[in-house]
Chains A and B, each alone.
Chain A
């Protein structure tokens, strides 16, 4: 897997959303909102962007009479996340190797 920057994962809480979904098959809307600590409109907005990028699959249904929405990462989303995290790690090790700048 190549380390590569994915700009779609850089805005707002998208990286945290994907990292959260990486450990699960499906997570419901309310749980994503509560675990990341963002508002409902923010979850909707960023999930739509990730869905448009092909990184997120959205399933709508109901539990009893209550409508529910579930999210999961697509295989493309998993690959993009892993590659973006690898890129961030490379960037960090590069900046650590260079050390702090002198006076």
Chain B
């Protein structure tokens, strides 16, 4: 092939860029994600305030899982694209995912401990930064995933 190899490479890069832009979550996704982060991170507070017993926790988690699956289905239907779900598919997103998981778990433990000591007010004050940090973490994960799609690093 004597032709210039740049146009086909540019064509491939442009296709990947379009896919990355097309699959970027809309603003409504981030709004729902913010609500979800607040609800999940604040579970110990809500359970204490609403006097829910620990047996109700499994049902709350079922509702959260069903809502997450519904959101994922709606996103697939809207975009016409099924992205790989497992973390190993996006090499750049691995570290952000681990950080988000650690921050969320530590935040949950801190809130749970405060509620256990009867300091619901302080727990509510901690909830905001914890939920915001989780949300920023998800944004970081999405940015890394988008970069992997654009650079052709996704492993399906």
Contacts and interface: CB of A to CB of B under 8 A. Distances in A.
Interface residues of B, number: 29
Contact of A26 (B9, B16, B19, B82): B82
Contacts of B149: 23
Contacts of B101: none
A16 B12 contact: yes
Interface stretch (B40-48, B58-66, B73-81, B131-139): B73-81
Contacts of A15: 8, 11-12
A23 B19 contact: yes
B9 A88 contact: yes
Chain B binding surface SS class = helix
A30 interface: yes
B15 A20 contact: yes
Interface string A10-35: 10010111111011111110110001
A46 interface: no
Interface in A20-73: 20, 22-28, 30-31, 35-36, 63, 70, 72-73
A22 B16 contact: yes
A23 B154 contact: yes
Interface of B: 1, 4-6, 8-9, 11-16, 18-20, 22-23, 77, 79-84, 148-149, 152, 154, 156
18 contacts: A13-B11, A16-B11, A19-B12, A20-B19, A23-B16, A24-B19, A24-B23, A24-B82, A24-B84, A25-B83, A25-B156, A27-B19, A35-B15, A35-B19, A63-B77, A85-B12, A91-B1, A92-B6
Interface of A: 5, 10, 13, 15-20, 22-28, 30-31, 35-36, 63, 70, 72-73, 78, 85, 88-89, 91-92, 95
Given A18-B12, A25-B82, A73-B156, 5 more contacts: A10-B1, A19-B152, A23-B154, A88-B8, A95-B5
